[in-house]
Structure 1
């Protein structure tokens, strides 16, 4: 029987979520009462009351992560979870499936060699499996500009020829880029959705093994009520210090947290937008994204589409499951703090938009909580910032005004404000346990239960690596708090943001970039710390772990962006991950293929980024572009012949670099002029025109 369609898991979620709610609310209430007893005036002033309220919300928030980790540890210790979707792998299919799957790579101005290396790796891994013929790969490009478009198209053609993958790997560049990635996937569904039963949605840096893709196909076939099946991707691929810290945290703590999420979410899980399997027919029918009323940033197109699509899929009666124990799924993480924070600014806007969907009709309570949880991922930073400002204000106020010994009502005896530093230390220690105890549980699971510590450098190096990760997390947390607070504020104030491509290479942050990005925060930290030091030196030491990293955010950002220290730690087997100690074939392949593609010379010794010029001069690329135009019936649309002649005359007189973006795109859709310009470049004045263009 298909246990995903029986009510057993639904009744289990009720019990599990009730227990989780009690585990969060009861300690939070006790902590709120306790913090009131710590404050000098016992919470009787408006300022202290505000401190208690903010702290109680924050305590509840960090309790969610703590208990998720505890439940995840419990799940992994048992080694068997009767609701795990992976059990379907032991159940044979009644007949061989004929379901076809499209593996989607939505890209936008990405590093082309890395993208093609990931596609090549996934394709070759699939070819080693019996179900390879059921998978096609589609590259869905939203890249802007003629150069990037032509670079991708040429790289795709080279890859197809190398692999013999004609009619197996496809490429399409959208002419009109609506709704970013969600619009890109929706466009594919409209064009090709009826030809496939499933789609496996990737990111530009995603890699999955063919065995994992086949396993997900098997699970979806055996569990026909699953609409979305999400994996828990492992991070790999970078050598900068920050990336290695994130990769290490993901591989050490991630499995336990993923198991904890599965424990209380079950069929109401999240979809993270990539490394997931989706049933196309219900996705097309039920997961169309509404356009929010009002103007951006809180109105307009929904940016963080994945959570919303999961909620809509679940509302339609289809399960959304996290395959927490399914290996063979990877992604990369941001290589430096600047790229991480730029990504977080986009995610912040998208997650805050979800608050407008909290009361959408028909949504399951679990997904309303997930919307709130996603918003709190960034709003909590503003709450921490508010808590620290209120606490600092209380300390400064006590120093300037002094305590009030007599209340407004008549009393024979004065009211003596009492400050209990020991109680404050107990409160701080309790908060620290919530934050850091799960890390020790992860160490225990790796060393004692799974006995995989050798993949992390051994028990001692693993413990030392956890200490290093904790230290840098503590240093970087105040910087992230400050920026996330800023992102929430500017989003609520209605300021729009860009949506550029992510940095995926190990290029370090320059001092100029660090000054521009962190300079204002560092000055704020100096002002904040200086005022507190001036009026309340004792309290300064309480906030020093927050203020000092903010003041030194510029060198921290630069240091963590370099790969020198990261490589040194790797050489010492610190912050080591299994993908470095004993990499899977797919990890070795994508690394090697990326390096080979980056080192492969471009014909005519042209820069790789000069895709438009290569289309004009390279006979093979020029012929490819014209053949694709003939096959797809593309044309220049409403562009007049006079305009085309002006563009041609301009390029002949002043060269390809003088054309605007739109002029280049127009020319790339006219096969006849591409052929004529290519011929002229090679024949006119014995090739002098070509030489002039290449200078």
Structure 2
């Protein structure tokens, strides 16, 4: 037993809280399942009705977790004090001595370069304002594969370093081989530079964090030496599309309550979300190496959703993982449209289903086994909901076609009359609705009555209207998400793997062509499902209409919510507002302004910003930069490599940059002599005829 009384008390409280949560989930779920059996015509006596009861009980338990998380988060925030909050460490002074070194990591892969550099610049300047910037270095870790994107990023990084005078403070590295995606990118950094830093703050490409928040996180980690990972609860911002505004409003209105609830149940066994978190480097390097799962993808091979696994491994090694739910100044962006969201969810679905294979890994804490199961249930629950609706529809059609059975298999003097009580079904529906929507009522009351932050959302009346709008659109979009999540689970279990590309981070709308390609199958399915039920059980159709109709209308809903015109109109009316719009932090103002400035910055020679490879061949500054970076670690190439490089130089001079394949461009960009030869020939041969021809074609 631990000799630390505070730690023993925290351990006891954790066990007690989770025991209470288990009872709060199991007892109501059992009662609800029994009630479902009483509502069904045959009282659950048929195999079909028994399947309905089983699926409903699992779903009820699943939504109960979210409900009780919200309830306890509400109580935590209403008290305004939690004795286990890690932020209490900020009141404890730091011991004198050398300040710990912290690396701020921006792992990127084919991202929007102006937005990435705007986030880097914003974070750097915010750290400068704290007076502690010398304790931090920023590393841009690129996995971008194309030569154009690589050179675009390198040019933007060099310009940013020169602008800020940040030589030796902001670094850029492009990996030659993209292994294990983001987790491999971070692992590569740890192998190269991990010994130089005590902590690393892992960001996403769209992350922004206030400098004093980063300093506070380091302070907490210094005062709580058993914390291995400190996760913040990022706030969403920056979207103008209707869907983006709906999501970021929900995140800002309900998110703090759910984050506080997660902290209440998890304490030192929290999860890591892969970004906007501070990690203690040494134990991460020693204990969080990811295994390769046996078998082939999608359920085998490299672990895709690495964050939950790294948190579980950190905890297994004896280090704590905490959610700093009350730290502000941590932001991210949400997907701008439904297609982007669902493409992201497909990747996450595959990664979370892999976690089921790790449930019984030796030494993992029970809390993290539950988190693995919870992550998988985020998508499996959609399939269960889908099965529940299909089973219910089949039961309704069966009752209409076959008719009820009045006599059981055993002898009975009197018939068994099936009884359908619509009022009972309404009570069941209302109970489920309370679990789903009552937390939103609590959020409204907390914002208006306790925290008095209604002005940040446009005022109490507009906040209420915004919540109604968010609930209405969430209700419309939930069946579409259910259909696709069910599809994702099925295709993953059938062994179909997917790519893991970059996310769309701008507000480009969804075209009708893309909507047809993506939603066409679902629309046909909805028409078929609704048509069969309408034909055989028209009374039951009205019960499933709120599910069927959004699926049928998924194409126009997807297109509508992807446009920014409705979102901007609502913003002008003061609806779906968030604090980052009404009272923005300086970091939010900065990152928005810097993104526009980087997008509109002039490019030498009048070339497109995205033509990174051509710019490196022609622009003297970029060509010199590339060669200088190569000459730092130059190795003498062999005879075969020199001959190959000479052929590439000849090929590009004769056929132009597009004559080279992507791999050949990458090879040339790692040959300083070849780059110099191409550059000189382009500017001098035949009075610059090569350069003029390339610029004309660009």
Superposed pair shares fold, TM > 0.5:
yes
> Is the contact made by 1:4 and 1:223 (CA closer than 8 Å) also made in structure 2?
no
Structure 2 counterpart of 1:93: 94
In the TM superposition, what is the alpha-carbon distance from 1:4 to its structure 2 partner?
9.9
1:679 & 1:270 partners in 2: Cα distance? 54
> Mapping of 1:247-646 within 5 angstroms?
247-633=248-634, 640-646=641-647
> Mapping of 1:36-185 within 5 angstroms?
36-185=37-186
CA shift digits 1:456-488 (9 cap, x unpaired): 000000000000000000000000000000000
> Is the contact made by 1:636 and 1:670 (CA closer than 8 Å) also made in structure 2?
no
User: Using a 3 Å threshold, how does the CA distance of structure 1 residues 544 and 673 change in structure 2: closer, same or farther?
Assistant: same
RMSD in angstroms over aligned alpha carbons?
1.2
In the TM superposition, what is the alpha-carbon distance from 1:646 to its structure 2 partner?
2.0
Structure 1 counterpart of 2:690: 689
User: Using a 3 Å threshold, how does the CA distance of structure 1 residues 438 and 618 change in structure 2: closer, same or farther?
Assistant: same
User: Using a 3 Å threshold, how does the CA distance of structure 1 residues 317 and 84 change in structure 2: closer, same or farther?
Assistant: same
1:588 & 1:253 partners in 2: Cα distance? 23
1:302 & 1:515 partners in 2: Cα distance? 32
1:665 & 1:691 partners in 2: Cα distance? 23
User: Using a 3 Å threshold, how does the CA distance of structure 1 residues 344 and 98 change in structure 2: closer, same or farther?
Assistant: same
2:637 & 2:329 partners in 1: Cα distance? 44
Where does the alignment leave 5 or more consecutive residues of structure 1 unmatched? Answer: none
In the TM superposition, what is the alpha-carbon distance from 1:644 to its structure 2 partner?
1.8
In the TM superposition, what is the alpha-carbon distance from 1:418 to its structure 2 partner?
0.8
> Is the contact made by 2:316 and 2:365 (CA closer than 8 Å) also made in structure 1?
yes
1:612 & 1:25 partners in 2: Cα distance? 60
> Is the contact made by 1:240 and 1:506 (CA closer than 8 Å) also made in structure 2?
yes
Q: Secondary structure at the match of 1:128?
A: helix
User: Using a 3 Å threshold, how does the CA distance of structure 1 residues 636 and 12 change in structure 2: closer, same or farther?
Assistant: farther
Q: Secondary structure at the match of 1:466?
A: helix
User: Using a 3 Å threshold, how does the CA distance of structure 1 residues 55 and 107 change in structure 2: closer, same or farther?
Assistant: same
> Is the contact made by 1:255 and 1:324 (CA closer than 8 Å) also made in structure 2?
yes
In the TM superposition, what is the alpha-carbon distance from 1:372 to its structure 2 partner?
0.2
> Is the contact made by 1:177 and 1:184 (CA closer than 8 Å) also made in structure 2?
yes
Q: Secondary structure at the match of 2:107?
A: strand
Q: Secondary structure at the match of 2:130?
A: coil
Q: Secondary structure at the match of 2:688?
A: helix
Structure 1 counterpart of 2:226: 225
In the TM superposition, what is the alpha-carbon distance from 1:131 to its structure 2 partner?
1.6
1:124 & 1:447 partners in 2: Cα distance? 34
In the TM superposition, what is the alpha-carbon distance from 1:608 to its structure 2 partner?
1.0
Q: Secondary structure at the match of 1:7?
A: helix
> Is the contact made by 1:635 and 1:670 (CA closer than 8 Å) also made in structure 2?
no
In the TM superposition, what is the alpha-carbon distance from 1:642 to its structure 2 partner?
2.7
> Is the contact made by 1:629 and 1:635 (CA closer than 8 Å) also made in structure 2?
no
In the TM superposition, what is the alpha-carbon distance from 1:691 to its structure 2 partner?
1.2
Q: Secondary structure at the match of 1:65?
A: helix
1:28 & 1:633 partners in 2: Cα distance? 66
Q: Secondary structure at the match of 2:437?
A: helix
Deviates more, 1:685-694 or 1:201-210: 685-694
2:449 & 2:400 partners in 1: Cα distance? 51
1:691 & 1:238 partners in 2: Cα distance? 41
> Is the contact made by 1:231 and 1:322 (CA closer than 8 Å) also made in structure 2?
yes
In the TM superposition, what is the alpha-carbon distance from 1:447 to its structure 2 partner?
0.3
> Is the contact made by 1:100 and 1:197 (CA closer than 8 Å) also made in structure 2?
yes
Q: Secondary structure at the match of 1:325?
A: coil
> Is the contact made by 1:636 and 1:666 (CA closer than 8 Å) also made in structure 2?
no
User: Using a 3 Å threshold, how does the CA distance of structure 1 residues 347 and 209 change in structure 2: closer, same or farther?
Assistant: same
> Is the contact made by 1:272 and 1:307 (CA closer than 8 Å) also made in structure 2?
yes
In the TM superposition, what is the alpha-carbon distance from 1:640 to its structure 2 partner?
2.6
2:188 & 2:636 partners in 1: Cα distance? 20
1:363 & 1:287 partners in 2: Cα distance? 12
Q: Secondary structure at the match of 1:500?
A: coil
Corresponding position: 1:245 with 2:246: yes
Structure 2 counterpart of 1:187: 188
In the TM superposition, what is the alpha-carbon distance from 1:636 to its structure 2 partner?
6.2
In the TM superposition, what is the alpha-carbon distance from 1:638 to its structure 2 partner?
8.4
In the TM superposition, what is the alpha-carbon distance from 1:688 to its structure 2 partner?
1.4
2:635 & 2:567 partners in 1: Cα distance? 49
User: Using a 3 Å threshold, how does the CA distance of structure 1 residues 281 and 44 change in structure 2: closer, same or farther?
Assistant: same
1:635 & 1:512 partners in 2: Cα distance? 52
1:195 & 1:570 partners in 2: Cα distance? 46
> Is the contact made by 2:649 and 2:677 (CA closer than 8 Å) also made in structure 1?
no
In the TM superposition, what is the alpha-carbon distance from 1:639 to its structure 2 partner?
5.3
In the TM superposition, what is the alpha-carbon distance from 1:21 to its structure 2 partner?
0.7
> Is the contact made by 2:529 and 2:548 (CA closer than 8 Å) also made in structure 1?
yes
Q: Secondary structure at the match of 1:640?
A: helix
Q: Secondary structure at the match of 1:683?
A: helix
CA shift digits 1:513-544 (9 cap, x unpaired): 00000000000000000000000000000000
In the TM superposition, what is the alpha-carbon distance from 1:647 to its structure 2 partner?
1.5
1:580 & 1:632 partners in 2: Cα distance? 47
Where does the alignment leave 5 or more consecutive residues of structure 2 unmatched? Answer: none
CA shift digits 1:281-335 (9 cap, x unpaired): 0000000000000000000000000000000000000000000000000000000
2:593 & 2:4 partners in 1: Cα distance? 42
Q: Would you say how many aligned residue pairs link Structure 1 and Structure 2?
A: 695
> Is the contact made by 1:13 and 1:266 (CA closer than 8 Å) also made in structure 2?
yes
